[in-house]
Every structure is written in structure tokens, then in C-alpha cells.
Amino acid sequence: MNLSLVKTMEEARRHHRMDTLEFGNAPSLVVLGVFLGLGYLMTLWGQRFLFEIIHPFFSAMILVLFAAVGFASLRMGLKRGADKDVVFLKNPNYRKALLQSSKDIVSLADQQTLSEKIVMTLVQIFDAKFATLFLLDEAKSVYQLRVSMGSDKDSQNLSLTSDDPLIQTLSREAQILTDEGLEYYSAQEDKAVLLRKMKLLSAKVILPLVLRERLVGLCAIGPKSGNGPYTQGDLELLSILGNQASVALENARLYENLKQSQNIIRRADRLSSLGVLTAGLAHEIRNPLVAIRTFTQLLPERYQDREFREEFQVIALREVDRICGLVNDLLSFARPSIHNVSSENINEVVENIARILETQAKERGVQISREMAPDLPKIWIDKEQLKQVFMNIILNAIQSIEGGGVVEVSTRLFKKDSSELFVQIGVRDSGVGIPEQDLENIFNPFFTTKKDGSGLGLSISHQIVQEHGGYMLVESRPGEGTTFLIHLAIRPFNP
């Protein structure tokens, strides 16, 4: 390129201001005339008062001086006036709307909702006929259309590659492009390409979204509803909004990546628990199958024995029902976790997990006792996620007991600070307990006292409970056991 794009755009703005100065300010010229007339009269009066004579040459010099000062002041005033945002004149509440839009933009974490808000803000504040937003898809190395508002073009699959001349220019210059500014662009070949690209997008202004010298997206903004020009004030405000939008979009992207990582970790922890369950249930299912197989082998020999047949029927049906129940519970826990909030009876959810874990408890000589409060209100929860929580807590309690013991599972209503009601789920064990120095770390990721533990179970459980608007407490003494208290709010849960 022969000249910087910034310089050519600045030249266009100066040209626009000179047009305004020369053709659009008759009232200001009248003010200048009045100013010169009053100054000349004061000069004449001053000469007569001080010298009692009027010198024509001296009077002419003073008049020229007044004209020079007045014209310079007028020019500076017109320059500032040309830079004023016309939207500001049309909308007295413009600044308030801008501040509110900025607050909305930085407060949104969902990338799609944020993108729609950015485009809506540009259309509303600048009275644009339409606006579109393109965001960088790093996996494909293209800028994909994310949101379009007001455009009648079928641009749903429109994208711009990273080697597109428009993308290359925006990445290099990191400056707003206007079709008027490009008219003064000296690199004719580049100018023609960029103008053609802007025409394809039907854009009057292209706003780059740049963060840390990296182009993360761009907004193509159409003409104003009144077909007025985009002034220097408009472009400065667009630059402010562009900086805010770039930071907000990057934060939203990082937040979505974090959520995806958390989901992957949760699935890994779920699969780990599933492996423990499968090993225990294999043994639990084998026992009733052996009983059914034995009765089936004896059936041909003792088919005429009515008492045998009736006993076989009762035992076989009972054992088959038991196997079906265990398999259904296992499948319910193994089902992929998705946000599916519903009103649930917490006693049934806890009982379901306790029943699944009874096999592991028996193998360690542990008894699981229940003390469920009757008539608990139903609460809005993601049942599959909370099953994972109860699985982690109860399984940890069982594994903490050496040589036999008891795990007590309880539910009750709990009022915090004499105000908000919670459903409290308690899991108390008679195990080895947790050292005091470890209590403050048990919810930290990757902290574990188990030889084969991942240190993720309690961390994930703690986060799930917090997402439900609840909280967890733990009480423990070495040698006396541990109690986990899970509190779930009795109010709607929005994942």
C-alpha cells in the first residue's frame, strides 16, 4: 500500500469538514460580520476618546486584526461542530442509552445472546438500516456470520476466509473502514477490492473487533435510516463500542470453553463411578442368576413336584425383578447428563442411589440406614446431576469405613437464618474421619487422600450443588467419622 488507511480516512474527514465550513454555515458568517462591525466601531470610538482624531490606516489595521482573530475562532468552532455526533442532536438521551448498552454487553456470558445484543445496539444507537456480525471460527480459520439484523439478503452461510482482502486489511490496520474514507484511498487496486467487498456486504461502515492485536470478529453496518453520513463522532463512538464488544465476546468464548471443560471432567468422574458400580453389580447379578440356573437344571427332574414348581416360580420372579431393578438403576445413572430440570421428590432420588450402592456396602460389611423426613416438598433440580452428587458422597462414606460400620442417610427441612427454607440431605459415616488440616481443601480439584482417587468427585459435587443455588458443609473428626450436609433451596433452579 502507498499510504496508510488511517491517513486517507483522516483526509476524507478533513474534506468533509471543509465542505461544511464553505457551504453550510450562513448564520455563522452573519455572527462574524456583527463581530467585525462592533469591533470596528469600538476602534473608532477609542481613537476619538484617546486621541481626538481618527487615523484611517490605523483603523484599517485594527479591522484586519479583528477579522483574522474572528475567522480563526469561527473555523475552530465549525470544526468542532462538524465532529459532533448527529445522533446526539437527534436523541437527548443518547449518552444514557449508550451507557446502558455498554452495561448490558459486558454483563452477558452467553456468546449468542451477546452477539445479538451487540448488533441490536449498533442498529438502535446509530439508527442503521441493518447490521451483521462475523466471528472467528478458529477450528475452520474463517469468520462466520453469527447474527444479522435488518438485512434482506440470504447470508445465513456467508463467511470470510482469513486470506480475504477485507480481513487482511482489518487485521493489519485495526481501524474502522468507511466507503467515504476509501474514496480517498490512493492504492487504486486495493481500494477497488475493498469497495467491492463492502458493496457485497451492503456496508457503509466496517467495525473491526480487535483484542490483543488479533481480529476476533467484525461488524458490517449499513446506511442510516435517513441516509445521513457517519460522522467523526459516530466513528469514535463505534470504536468505543467495538473495544467493549471485543472484550465481552472473548470473555464469553472463554466462559463457554470452561463450561465444556467442566462437562468433560464431570463425564470422566461419572465414568469412574460407573466402573466401580459395574464391578460390584456384576457380582450382585451373578448370585440370582446362579439360583435361577440351579432351579432350571432341576426343573425337568422335579417338574411333577407342585411345591417345587411354585417355589421355583416365586424365587425366579423375585430374582429377575431384582436384576431388572439393578440394571435400570445402573442405566439411569449411566445416562448422559443433560440439563433437564424438573420438580422431584428428593427422597426418591436419594433412595435410588442408596439402593445401587448397597452391593458395595455389603462387600465392606457396611450397613446403609435411611431416615427420610416424610412430606418433604418437591424441589426443582436436575435429577441426573444430583444423582452424581449423592453417588460421590455416599460412595466416599462407604469407602472410608474399615472393618464394618454404618452409613446414615437422612433428609429433613432446614431453615437458614430464620428465613430461606432448604431441603437438607445428610450423609454420616463411622469411618476414619478427615484430618483437620485437610478439611479446607477437600472441595479443591485434584485434592485427595485416596491412593487411587482422582480428587475430582467432591469438587464436581460442590459445584453442582452451588449451581442449584445450594451449599455443602462438612464436619469430621479423625477416628469418629464424617458428616456431609447438602442443602438445596426450595425455589426454581435455572441452569
The pLDDT tens digits of the residues spanning 182-235 come to 766 555 567 788 888 888 888 999 999 998 888 999 999 999 888 888 888 888
Calculate ∠ Cα 181-187-188, nearest 5°: 90
More confident residue, 376 or 11: 376
Ordered by start, the domain boundaries in the chain are 5-83, 89-255, 341-495
Give me the pLDDT at residue 264, please. Answer: 62
Instruction: Check: CB of residue 154 under 8 Å from CB of residue 140.
Output: no
Q: What is the pLDDT of residue 328?
A: 65
For the ranges 37-46, 173-182, 300-309, the lowest mean pLDDT is seen at 37-46
Q: What pLDDT does 271 receive?
A: 59
Q: Above 60 in pLDDT, residue 150?
A: yes
The SS3 of residue 176 is: coil
Query: Any idea which residue has 431393578 for its cell?
Result: 325
pLDDT at 132: 92
In this predicted structure, the answer to whether residue 333 has a pLDDT above a threshold of 60 is: no
What CATH class is the domain 89-255? alpha beta
Residue 236 pLDDT exceeds 80: yes
What is the spatial distance between Cα 370 and Cα 321, in angstroms, rounded to a whole number?
22
What are 202's three cell numbers?
Answer: 451492503
Residue 171 in contact with residue 5, Cβ under 8 Å?
A: no
> For 277-324, what is each residue's pLDDT tens digit?
666 566 567 767 777 777 787 778 777 888 877 777 777 787 787 777
| pLDDT higher than threshold 80 for residue 166 | yes
Cβ(142)–Cβ(178) below 8 Å: no
Tell me, what's the pLDDT at 315? 75
What pLDDT score was predicted for residue 187? 57
Cβ-contact 358, 288 below 8 angstroms: no
Q: Which residue blocks in 335-435 are alpha helix, DSSP H?
A: 346-356, 358-363, 383-399
pLDDT value at residue 483: 94
Which of 139-143, 267-271, 339-343, 444-448 reaches the highest mean pLDDT? Answer: 139-143
Question: CB of 382 within 8 A of CB of 495?
Answer: yes
d(CA 488, CA 420): 11
For residue 338 the three cell numbers come to: 443433560
N- to C-terminal Cα separation, the chain? 51
- Tell me the average pLDDT across 380-407: 89
Q: What is the pLDDT of residue 434?
A: 86
C-alpha cell recorded at residue 449: 487422600
Say which residue, 450 or 75, is predicted with more confidence: 450
The residues near 23 (Cβ < 8 Å, ≥ 6 apart) are none
β-pair partners for 483: 428, 475
Above pLDDT 70, what percent of the chain? 64
Among 88-97, 233-242, 463-472, name the one with the lowest average pLDDT. Answer: 88-97
Mean confidence (pLDDT) of the chain:
75
Spatial distance between the Cα atoms of 301 and 32, rounded to a whole number of angstroms: 125
Quickly state the pLDDT bin for 83 (edges 50, 70, 90): very low
pLDDT digits 0-9 by tens, 450-459: 655 555 678 7
User: What local confidence, expressed as pLDDT, does residue 61 receive?
Assistant: 66
Supply the CATH classification number for the domain 341-495: 3.30.565.10
Average pLDDT over residues 59-82: 57
